[in-house]
Structure 1
Amino acid sequence: MIFSPPLQSATLIKRYKRFLADVTLPNGDIKTMHCANTGAMTGCAEPGNQVWYSTSDNPKRKYPNSWELSVTQQGDTICINTARANGLVVEAIEQQKIPELVGFEILRTEVKYGQENSRIDILLEGLPAAPERRCYIEVKSVTLLQNERGIGQGFFPDAVTTRGQKHLRELIEMVESGHRAVLFFAVLHSGIEKVSCAHHIDSNYSQLLKQAKEAGVEVLCYKAKLSPQQIELSSSIEFID
C-alpha cells in the first residue's frame, strides 16, 4: 500500500475527543486532523511523537488531513489508522502473500452474515476443491506493546470490546455451519514480535477467543513493514495463548 500523495510530517500536541488530534507543523503552525482510531491507543499517542499524515482532496471533509503513522520516542513506528488494516490484508491475499489463504477465486468485503447482524471484513469463496465452503475473515489491528510482559510482546484488545466479542461468536457460528473462520491479527507496530490476547484488559474476550479456537476458528498474525512511503504485510509472527 503506497501512500499517494506522499505523507507529511508533524509533531503531536494531543489526541482528544477520540477522533481528533492537534499537531505542530514544521513551520510552527498548529493543525487539527482526523484520527481514524477509536481505541485507547496506549503508547501510540504520546505528546511529542512524530506523526505522518495524509491529505484528502475531498472538499466535503471538515478535516482533510488524516493521522496515519506515529513514531515513538523509542523509535518504533505505528500505523494508528485502523482503517488501513483491512486494505492491507486484502492486498496481501490478492498478491498471494498469505499461504494460508490462497486458492480462492472470489474475494468480497463487508458482507452481512451471522445471527447478530454483523458484516464480515473479508469473505473468500470459490475454492475449487470445496466450492461450497467459504472462508470468513475478521481483521483486527494490533498496536498495543507492553514490554514488561516480554520483549516485543503485543496484545489485543487495548480496551474492553463488546463488538469484538460479538465477532468471535459469529466466527464460531460459521465454523459450526461447516465453513472456515479466521481471526486475522494485522500487527501494525514495528516493536511487536509476538501477539497474545489481553486477558488483563478484557477477560471476556480472552475466554471467548479460547472457545473460538477450541471450536476450530483459526488465528493468523502477520506483521507489517511500516514507512512514510508505504506499508505492507510482510511476515507471519507467533500467536501465544
Structure 2
Amino acid sequence: MKFVSPLIKGKLIKRYKRFFADVELAHGQLVTAHCPNTGSMTNCGEVGWTAYLSEHNNPKRKLAYTWELVKNQQQQIIGINTHNANKLVAEALHNQVIQELADYEHIASEVKYGSENSRIDFLLTQTDLPDCYVEVKSVTLLQEGWGYFPDAVTKRGQKHLRELVNMIEQGHRAVLLFAVQHSGIEKVRVAAHIDPDYAKELQLAVEAGVQILAYRSQLQQENYFLHQPVPFYLQ
C-alpha cells in the first residue's frame, strides 16, 4: 500500500489523550498529529523515537498530520496506524500473497454477520469452496523476542472469536489473521499474561476449527506491504 503522501520524519515528543501525538519536525517545527491507535501501544512510542507522519490536505480535518509509523532505538519499524492492517491485508488478498487464501477470487469487506451485531473484515467467496470469514488483528507488541496479541484486555476481540466459531458451526471457514506491524517480530503468541480470557476463547476457537495465520509487514521506501508468514503459538 502507498501512504496518502510522502512520509514526513520527525522526533516523537509525547503521545497523550490516546489520539494525539506531538512531533518535532525538521528545523524545530512542533506539530500535533492524529494517533489512530486506541490500544496501550506498549513498547511502541517512546520519547525521542523517530516518528513518520502522513500529511492531509482535507480542510475538514482538525489535524493535518497522521502518525503512521515509528522507528525504535533498534531501528525496527512499527506500524502505529491500526487502520493500515486491513489495508495491508486487502492488498495482500488481491495480490494473492496470502497463500492459504489465494484460491478465493471474490473479496468483500465490512460485511454484517453473526449474532452479536458484528462486521467481518473480509468475506471471501469462490464457487465450490466454503465461504471464508477473515478477522484481522494488528500485532505490534514485542516482549522478550515474542510478538503478542492482545496488548490489552479486549472484550471486543473475545466477541469476534465467538462469531468466528459460530461461522464454523454453520459450515463455513473462519480465519483469524494477524497482521504483524513490527519488523522485529518473527513469531507471535497469544498474550495470556495480559488477557487470560481472550487466550481461553482463542483456544476454544482453534479447537472448533478456526484457522490462525500471521503475516509480517515490510516497508520499502514508500511502499508498505505484507510479505512473509510467521509462526503463531497458543502456548
Whether the 8 Å CA contact 1:195–1:240 is kept in 2: the answer is yes
The residue type equivalent to 2:133 in the other structure is Y
**Structure 2 residue 104 is matched with structure 1 residue 124:** no
Whether the 8 Å CA contact 1:79–1:226 is kept in 2: the answer is no
Aligned to 2:85: 85
The residue type equivalent to 1:92 in the other structure is A
- CA deviation after TM superposition for structure 1 residue 180, in Å: 0.4
Aligned to 2:194: 201
Query: For the residues of structure 2 that align with 1:189 and 1:55, how far apart are their CA atoms?
Result: 22
Query: For the residues of structure 1 that align with 2:186 and 2:15, how far apart are their CA atoms?
Result: 26
Query: For the residues of structure 2 that align with 1:166 and 1:183, how far apart are their CA atoms?
Result: 13
SS in structure 2 at match of 1:108 = strand
Matched residues, percent identical?
A: 55
**Structure 2 residue 152 is matched with structure 1 residue 159:** yes
Structure 1 residues 37 and 20: CA distance shift in structure 2, 3 A: same
Aligned to 2:228: 235
Aligned to 2:11: 11
- Once the two structures are superposed, the pairs formed by residues 134-153 of structure 1 within 5 Å of their partners are 134-147=131-144, 151=145, 153=146
The residue type equivalent to 1:134 in the other structure is D
The residue type equivalent to 1:113 in the other structure is Y
The residue type equivalent to 2:186 in the other structure is E
- CA deviation after TM superposition for structure 1 residue 161, in Å: 0.4
* Matched positions, count: 234
The residue type equivalent to 2:163 in the other structure is E
Whether the 8 Å CA contact 2:76–2:182 is kept in 1: the answer is yes
SS in structure 2 at match of 1:27 = helix
Unaligned segments of structure 2, at least 5 residues = none
The counterpart of 1:217, out of the listed 210, 214, 218, is: 210
- CA deviation after TM superposition for structure 1 residue 227, in Å: 4.4
- Once the two structures are superposed, the pairs formed by residues 24-43 of structure 1 within 5 Å of their partners are 24-43=24-43
Whether the 8 Å CA contact 2:9–2:50 is kept in 1: the answer is yes
SS in structure 1 at match of 2:3 = coil
Aligned to 2:2: 2
The residue type equivalent to 1:129 in the other structure is D
Query: For the residues of structure 2 that align with 1:188 and 1:164, how far apart are their CA atoms?
Result: 18
Aligned to 1:53: 53
Aligned to 1:172: 165
Q: Deviations over 1:147-181 (max 9, x none)?
A: 1xxx3x10000000001010000000000000000
Query: For the residues of structure 1 that align with 2:189 and 2:62, how far apart are their CA atoms?
Result: 38
The residue type equivalent to 1:28 in the other structure is G
TM-score (norm 2): 0.97
The residue type equivalent to 2:151 in the other structure is D
TM-score (norm 1): 0.95
Aligned to 2:72: 72
Query: For the residues of structure 2 that align with 1:103 and 1:227, how far apart are their CA atoms?
Result: 27
The residue type equivalent to 2:188 in the other structure is V
Whether the 8 Å CA contact 1:9–1:25 is kept in 2: the answer is yes
Aligned to 1:22: 22
Worse-superposed segment, 221-230 or 74-83: 221-230
Query: For the residues of structure 1 that align with 2:219 and 2:46, how far apart are their CA atoms?
Result: 19
- CA deviation after TM superposition for structure 1 residue 33, in Å: 0.6
